[in-house]
Structure 1
Amino acid sequence: EHGTTLTERWELLEPELFVEMLGPDYPTQRSASVAEDLVTTLANLKAAIEAG
């Protein structure tokens, strides 16, 4: 099932890992902003996927 695959991929997404990949050169405040933006983007993507 295509939807199941998308759901499984969603569950594997970890915003913190993306922030860590940005590296220590990013100020903490910037990293927090990136994390929040990413969480919002992923939440919107998940909602769009679930809405089909």
Structure 2
Amino acid sequence: MFFLLDGAAEILSGDDVTAGPVQCIALGEATLESLLEVQELYDNHFMKSEVWDGRRG
């Protein structure tokens, strides 16, 4: 679990860089409990990704 106190989180999921579930919870579009259903999708992995490295052009 992590806490984001300020700013925004970017998450690499496959070949997609998204705001992830944190923004959905902040906007009231999802509940904390709904994270349990997708927690395996947002596990931490440390690897090289061209999509991630190129996300800001």
When normalised by structure 2's length, the TM-score is 0.30
- Greater per-residue helix proportion: 1
Higher relative contact order (CA 8 A, sep 6+): 1
- Greater per-residue strand proportion: 2
Give the greater-gyration-radius structure (CA).
1
